[in-house]
Amino acid sequence: MFTAEPRVSAADAASPVLVELFTSEGCSSCPPADALLQELDRSQPVAGAQLIVLSEHVDYWNRIGWTDPYSSSFFSNRQSAYAGRFGLDSVYTPQMVVDGAAELGGSDPRLASQAIEKARGREKIPVRISALSWEEAGVLRAHVEAGPLPESATGRRAEVYFVAALDHAESQVLRGENQGRRLTHVAVVLSLGKIGTTEKGKGFAGDVRVKLDSRRNLADLRVIGFVQQAGTGRVLGATLQHVAK
């Protein structure tokens, strides 16, 4: 169980902290990490932090017997980029990355607590999502804004990302290391892409349209916007909204 400060109210000025979990339904070590991510999302246990979680399912476990229905090479590549930034010899699951600045074993609540506590104290820029609407054929539209980079930022510009994710997902695993288990996930990423940049003295504002797989249950969806430095990978701001289909 995750142990930390009690949940803070929405009235408190909580600092957004992006928590990414690289996971796979083909990995027997991943279900405890999936459960930890769900607990972080549900209970928001760190005072002064708004935890914005993402489940990113890698595809390199698919070859051993179970094809994770939420997996993509995109997430494997994103994890590999983090491995390079952190100086790791290889990728692994489950891996948690906190605000792009720290990586740890994804099922370790103590290390997660330490990384989140450190991340919440960093300066963040505002990110806002508005004008959410559905168009025909499963196209989600939104307006995204991000403030300019602070003068204290090490780089001159950063990338703005937009994410669409399932609030909840379940699978009955038929093969592989988790054969016979029913697995549950939170914030399963369906789409993650760069939509613009922000820099010192100049923020970002723009509309985004995302085509989502109509075979998915889009009744319960969340969208996330975040700003990330291209070189260091550090997350400088984030926001989350829930979407009704």
Enumerate domains of the chain plus CATH numbers.
Answer: 15-244 (2.60.40.1930)
> Picking from 48-52, 133-137, 166-170, which range would have the lowest pLDDT averaged per residue?
133-137
| 127/114 Cα distance (integer angstroms) | 24
In the structure encoding, which two tokens stand for residue 66, read together?
């179970």
The pLDDT confidence band at residue 213, using thresholds 50, 70 and 90, is confident
pLDDT band at 151 (very low <50, low <70, confident <90, very high): confident
Q: Which pair of tokens denotes residue 155? A: 């780089």
pLDDT-based confidence at residue 218 (cuts at 50, 70, 90) = confident
Please, what is the average pLDDT of the chain? Answer: 92
Predicted confidence band of residue 244 (pLDDT cuts 50, 70, 90) = confident
Given this model, what pLDDT does residue 225 score? 98
Q: Could you report how far apart the first and last alpha carbons of the chain are, in Å?
A: 33
Residue 209 and residue 35: Cα distance in Å, rounded?
31
Q: How confident is the model at residue 216 (pLDDT cuts 50, 70, 90)?
A: confident
Q: How confident is the model at residue 12 (pLDDT cuts 50, 70, 90)?
A: very low
- Give residue 245's pLDDT band: very low, low, confident or very high (50, 70, 90): low
Question: Can you read off the two tokens belonging to residue 23?
Answer: 């996971």
Higher-confidence position of 152 and 76 = 76
pLDDT of residue 10: 40
Q: Name residue, tokens 């997660």.
A: 112
CA distance 74 to 57: 9
